[in-house]
Amino acid sequence: MGKSVNPDLAKARSQATFDPANLTNYLYGGPEKLRRKRYLPAFVFKELCTEMSLTDLCLIFLGLLTHVSDYLGLTLSIENMAAKEYKEEGFKSTDDMSREEAYEESMRRAVYTNKRVLQLNLQDQEEQYYFREIFVPGANPFALHYVMFKDAINTQGTEDQIQKWLPLAETYAVTGTYAQTELGHGTFLRGLETTAEYDVQREEFILNTPTITSSKFWPGALGKTANVAILNAKLITKGRNCGMQSFWVPLRHLETHQPLPGITVGDIGPKFGYHTSDNGFLQLNRVRIPRENMLMRYSKVLQDGTFVPPENDRLVYVPMTQFRFVVIGRSGWTLAKAVTVATRYSAVRRQSEITPGGGEVQILDFQTQQHKLFTQIASAYAMIIAAKAAKDLYDSAFSKMEKGNLEDLPMLHALTSSMKAFNTWEMATGVEQCRMACGGHGYLLASGIPQMYTDMVSACTYEGENTVMCLQAARFLNKCQEAANKGERLPQLTRFLQTSRLNISSSLDQDVDLNDIIAAYEFRAATVISEANARLNAGLAMGKSQSEAWNYASQLLVKAALAFSHWFTVRALIENMRGAGFDNSTETLLLQLAKLYALDGMLRYSGDFRKVG
Ligand SMILES: CCCCCCCCCC/C=C\CCCCC/C=C/C(=O)SCCNC(=O)CCNC(=O)[C@H](O)C(C)(C)COP(=O)(O)OP(=O)(O)OC[C@H]1O[C@@H](n2cnc3c(N)ncnc32)[C@H](O)[C@@H]1OP(=O)(O)O
Ligand SMILES: Cc1cc2nc3c(=O)[nH]c(=O)nc-3n(C[C@H](O)[C@H](O)[C@H](O)COP(=O)(O)OP(=O)(O)OC[C@H]3O[C@@H](n4cnc5c(N)ncnc54)[C@H](O)[C@@H]3O)c2cc1C
């Protein structure tokens, strides 16, 4: 590779007190997964690129993965690669393109990677994601197809429906979206107006968006890409509203891609970010689909129109819960990318003097710059590791659910809701801090950071608006607090409400004990949850109804959910760092990082921590 490494960066790297490969292996799930992660894109680049040797590419990827690397430089070099498929045009940055051109360029690349994923028979979703992410760095027009569309089929469809529809999705015989949100309702699902009325004579559902506010609005890929939707609508059969159900709804002709009769679809227009995702609108004018198109794993409509309810009406929400886990994990990795760019930049950017006449220093030498960046490095590790811990809980609960045991569903909903809100808010704040730490150059699209922000900050809204998600988690936490008040047995995850005590042994003049840190966060969460519960009960004592008292306490209830997530994150970070089997120098460093994360959190929420002593 002809590129020489900047001497300031080489100096910074040479001062590392640990072997970065240990961390990279840990973060990517071990040497074999890491090898696969490196091999896949490099394999395709070799195939595509006429200008760069495979050795060059592997060195780039080695640089990207094992050191604080030139993410910025890598992005530009990939963009400029002359590739067989695109040699006449080359990979152009979409930054200077119109929205239409950017969508088309992303679509070209996404279609290419879809073909290669099939040809390489890549089954693992993570491997598919790594493979695509390099080629389609912004919003992928197929994002909904890859995740929510297929997840909904897998979790809401019967075995027969899965057998019938999933191969179509896997081979891109169809391109799907997940259409739930309407112009008038995104959060309040019970307010959705789209109807699916059962016609018992013809054994069909008649889908209708009766009002302008019932138009489906926001679903990704609806504007141009998708030709099928998993669509959520109010089921009406035998004159009764049976609540929200999911339906397989063809939208566009599979050959001509023209909207089918009764279907009006289009793009909703420019957005704050996410420019290469064609979020769209959909109106249905009495569109008929066969009875078999209702996803009937949990609830059914029999031929005579009889509605068979699900064992639990919340099971229809499972695709959202599943995708919240994806968002929880992506938030940490997005912050990791942003802080990589900002830290590398801070090693090579020389600006101002610390000692007058001593010459301009690397801005990484300023204490303020270190505080801006090291707290975000710690936060990225914390979010990635907490997401792994949450996923372990999810997997064990989900395997029970698949056997019909739904006891963990409320805990799962509370955990995914609160962690999705906590991680995306922390990510948004952190990425913006990284951008500003790069001065004017951070404001350049070429830095890569602005798009990370404008794309991913939408995760604070989609998949459940964050405040609403905190309130959802608070329902569960408040119930647990009420049970704790009565001395009843609690779910494992919230037993600290009954056991947490503040017996901190650390004193201010010694290095803080990690167990004390966990105890402090646990006690803070228990205190805030208890305060929210007290405020709710005070509202009831004032004669307010349950819903009015809930609204009266809602600001504290949101805080309770966030304090719970913060505790879960700190505990996961410390326990995983201690138990990960690192060599001493790496473990020492990571525990320092964990302390930095926890103590920075105490400073940022010092009101809570001082209040609890
Ligand atoms: C390397 C890694 C690999 C990664 C793979 C791929 C990565 C791809 C990355 C792609 C990147 C970007 C793509 C992003 C595209 C964006 C996609 C966005 C999609 C969407 O936004 S879909 C629409 C999302 N919409 C929502 O979330 C709506 C939110 N609102 C609700 O969920 C509900 O209205 C409500 C929960 C707020 C209220 O429910 P409601 O029934 O009206 O009333 P309640 O009384 O509050 O609840 C009733 C009880 O039900 C319980 N409940 C609610 N929800 C759930 C749930 N999900 N699960 C379980 N239980 C639930 C609730 O707790 C109540 O029970 P209780 O009374 O408390 O006992
Ligand atoms: C980039 C992007 C992609 C998307 N992709 C999809 C998709 O593919 N498919 C899909 O179906 N949808 C999609 N959505 C829609 C998304 O799911 C909704 O925007 C989201 O659920 C929020 O609903 P809303 O927009 O109606 O906001 P609202 O719920 O109207 O929120 C507005 C304000 O009201 C507050 N609020 C609402 N309810 C309450 C409450 N009960 N208590 C307290 N405060 C409340 C909120 O906190 C917020 O501050 C996407 C959205 C975006 C931004």
pLDDT of residue 133: 83
What's the CA angle centered on 156, arms 212 and 113, to 5 degrees?
85
pLDDT exceeds 60 at position 73 = no
pLDDT band at 72 (very low <50, low <70, confident <90, very high): very low
pLDDT of residue 384: 96
CA 457 – ligand 1 centroid, Å: 17
Contact 600 CB / ligand 1 (< 6 Å): no
pLDDT of residue 311: 84
pLDDT exceeds 80 at position 511 = no
pLDDT exceeds 90 at position 88 = no
pLDDT of residue 144: 96
Rg, Å, the chain Cα set: 26
pLDDT of residue 47: 62
CA 465 – ligand 2 centroid, Å: 5
Give the separation between CA 563 and CA 533, rounded to whole angstroms: 14
List, in order, residues 6 or more apart from 123 with CB less than 8 Å away: none
Q: What percent of the chain has pLDDT above 70?
A: 91
Residue to mutate (ligand 2; options 458, 468, 548, 555; most atoms within 8 A of CB):
468
Residue to mutate (ligand 1; options 40, 413, 470, 477; most atoms within 8 A of CB):
413
pLDDT tens-place string over residues 156-173: 999 999 999 999 999 999
pLDDT of residue 65: 39
Residue nearest to atom 46 of ligand 1 (CA): 472
Average pLDDT over residues 430-459: 97
pLDDT exceeds 80 at position 543 = yes
Contact 462 CB / ligand 1 (< 6 Å): yes
Instruction: Give domain 319-491+512-611's CATH number out of 3.30.360.10, 3.10.20.30, 1.20.140.10, 2.40.128.110.
Output: 1.20.140.10
Which numbered ligand comes closest to the C-alpha of 139?
1
- The answer to whether the CB of 422 falls within 8 A of the CB of 562 is yes
Residue nearest to atom 12 of ligand 1 (CA): 143
pLDDT tens-place string over residues 294-306: 999 999 999 999 9
Binding residues: 181, 220
pLDDT of residue 378: 98
List, in order, residues 6 or more apart from 417 with CB less than 8 Å away: 324, 464, 469, 470, 472, 473, 561
In the chain, CATH 1.20.140.10 sits at: 319-491+512-611
pLDDT band at 272 (very low <50, low <70, confident <90, very high): very high
Tell me whether residue 311 is one of the annotated catalytic residues: no
Contact 223 CB / ligand 2 (< 6 Å): no
More confident residue, 528 or 2: 528
Buried b or exposed e, range 283-293, using 16+ CB within 10 angstroms: bbeebebebeb
Residue to mutate (ligand 2; options 194, 277, 461, 550; most atoms within 8 A of CB):
461
CA 525 – ligand 1 centroid, Å: 23
CA-to-CA dists, residue 200 to 240, 290, 302, 319, 340, angstroms: 13, 11, 9, 29, 59
User: 175-310 domain in CATH 3.40.50.300?
Assistant: no
Residue to mutate (ligand 1; options 114, 180, 189; most atoms within 8 A of CB):
189
List, in order, residues 6 or more apart from 205 with CB less than 8 Å away: 196, 197, 198, 199, 235, 247, 288, 289, 290, 291, 293, 294
Give the separation between CA 293 and CA 230, rounded to whole angstroms: 10
Parallel, antiparallel or unpaired: strands 204-208 and 195-199? antiparallel
The pair of three-digit structure tokens given for residue 506, joined into one six-digit string? 């650390």
Question: Average pLDDT, whole number, for the chain?
Answer: 90
The pair of three-digit structure tokens given for residue 37, joined into one six-digit string? 């992660």
pLDDT of residue 266: 97
Residue type, 172: Y
In the chain, CATH 2.40.110.10 sits at: 175-310
pLDDT exceeds 60 at position 612 = yes
Average pLDDT over residues 230-243: 97
pLDDT of residue 320: 83
pLDDT tens-place string over residues 343-397: 999 999 999 999 999 999 999 999 999 999 999 999 999 999 999 999 999 898 8
- Pick from 568, 567, 564: nearest CA to 556: 564
Give the separation between CA 360 and CA 352, rounded to whole angstroms: 5
Contact 551 CB / ligand 2 (< 6 Å): no
Parallel, antiparallel or unpaired: strands 360-362 and 350-353? antiparallel
Residue nearest to atom 1 of ligand 2 (CA): 458
| Active-site annotation holder among 182, 193, 463, 531 | 463
CA 43 – ligand 1 centroid, Å: 38
Contact 103 CB / ligand 2 (< 6 Å): no
Residue nearest to atom 48 of ligand 1 (CA): 314
More confident residue, 69 or 602: 602
Contact 147 CB / ligand 1 (< 6 Å): yes
CA 165 – ligand 2 centroid, Å: 28
CA 460 – ligand 2 centroid, Å: 9
pLDDT exceeds 80 at position 46 = no
Query: Is the four-CA dihedral 143, 104, 80, 57 of positive or negative sign?
Result: positive
Average pLDDT over residues 559-574: 98
Contact 317 CB / ligand 1 (< 6 Å): yes
Query: Which atom of ligand 1 has the smallest separation from the CA of 189?
Result: 34
More confident residue, 45 or 133: 133
Contact 339 CB / ligand 2 (< 6 Å): no
Residue to mutate (ligand 1; options 216, 320, 409, 550; most atoms within 8 A of CB):
320
Contact 33 CB / ligand 1 (< 6 Å): no
pLDDT tens-place string over residues 171-201: 999 999 999 999 999 999 999 999 999 999 9
Contact 527 CB / ligand 2 (< 6 Å): no
pLDDT tens-place string over residues 517-539: 999 999 999 999 999 999 999 99
Average pLDDT over residues 82-88: 43
pLDDT band at 58 (very low <50, low <70, confident <90, very high): very low
Residue nearest to atom 49 of ligand 2 (CA): 467
Contact 217 CB / ligand 1 (< 6 Å): no
Which numbered ligand comes closest to the C-alpha of 479?
1
pTM for this entry? 0.93
pLDDT of residue 122: 86
Burial class (CB in 10 A: 0-12, 13-18, 19+), 79: middle
- Pick from 131, 590, 76: nearest CA to 341: 76
Residue nearest to atom 68 of ligand 1 (CA): 475
Which region among 13-17, 92-96, 346-350, 607-611 has the lowest average model confidence (pLDDT)?
Answer: 92-96
Give the separation between CA 43 and CA 144, rounded to whole angstroms: 26
Buried b or exposed e, range 99-134, using 16+ CB within 10 angstroms: eeebbbbbbebbebbbebbeeeebeeeebbbbbbeb
- The answer to whether the CB of 271 falls within 8 A of the CB of 284 is no
CA 22 – ligand 1 centroid, Å: 36
Q: Which residues pair with 198 in a beta bridge?
A: 205
Give the separation between CA 277 and CA 146, rounded to whole angstroms: 13
pLDDT exceeds 80 at position 70 = no
CA 592 – ligand 2 centroid, Å: 38
Binding residues for FAD: 181, 220
CA 462 – ligand 1 centroid, Å: 9
CA-to-CA dists, residue 93 to 69, 78, 102, 311, angstroms: 20, 9, 9, 50
Which numbered ligand comes closest to the C-alpha of 412?
1
Residue nearest to atom 36 of ligand 2 (CA): 468
pLDDT of residue 321: 87
pLDDT band at 64 (very low <50, low <70, confident <90, very high): very low
pLDDT of residue 48: 62
- The answer to whether the CB of 266 falls within 8 A of the CB of 215 is no
CA-to-CA dists, residue 344 to 66, 69, 76, 452, 502, angstroms: 13, 7, 15, 17, 40
List, in order, residues 6 or more apart from 385 with CB less than 8 Å away: 332, 572, 573, 576, 577
Which numbered ligand comes closest to the C-alpha of 278?
2
Query: Which atom of ligand 2 has the smallest separation from the CA of 464?
Result: 21
Give the separation between CA 418 and CA 308, rounded to whole angstroms: 32
List, in order, residues 6 or more apart from 251 with CB less than 8 Å away: 222, 226, 227, 228, 229, 259, 260, 263, 265, 282
pLDDT of residue 90: 53
pLDDT exceeds 90 at position 93 = no
Virtual CA dihedral for 264, 269, 272, 273, nearest 10 degrees? 70
Residue recorded with tokens 């970070």:
573
pLDDT tens-place string over residues 447-481: 999 999 999 999 999 999 999 999 999 999 999 99
pLDDT tens-place string over residues 244-258: 999 999 999 999 999
Residue nearest to atom 40 of ligand 2 (CA): 468
pLDDT band at 501 (very low <50, low <70, confident <90, very high): confident
Contact 27 CB / ligand 1 (< 6 Å): no
Query: Which atom of ligand 2 has the smallest separation from the CA of 467?
Result: 47
Spacing of C-alpha 104 from chain mean position: 25
CA 404 – ligand 1 centroid, Å: 20
Average pLDDT over residues 393-421: 90
pLDDT of residue 131: 82
